[in-house]
Amino acid sequence: MDETDFEGSLVLEMLARIDKVDDFFEAVDSDDLKKAAALMEAANIDAQTIETVLKKMADQDDEH
């Protein structure tokens, strides 16, 4: 996953509100699902969206 997977998304908008976009991408790049989830929770992103993002992160790992 990279930034293009999230461009213009509500996830990024909500993370930007708490100034955590860079931290989120660091978590994505390092495959840190727990940190990514915690950041999304802190940004008040709904559980279903968090689950979808984490699943996409995990699926990306399977492709490598």
Q: What are phi and psi of 43, to 5 degrees?
A: -90, 5
* Separate counts of helices (H) and strands (E) for the chain: 4, 0
pLDDT in the model for residue 4:
52
Q: What is the mean pLDDT of the chain?
A: 86
Domain regions of the chain by residue span: 3-62
pLDDT in tens, 7-29: 558 899 999 999 999 999 999 99
Residue 61: C-alpha distances to residues 4, 35, 53 (Å):
17, 16, 13
Which position has the higher pLDDT, 61 or 13? 13
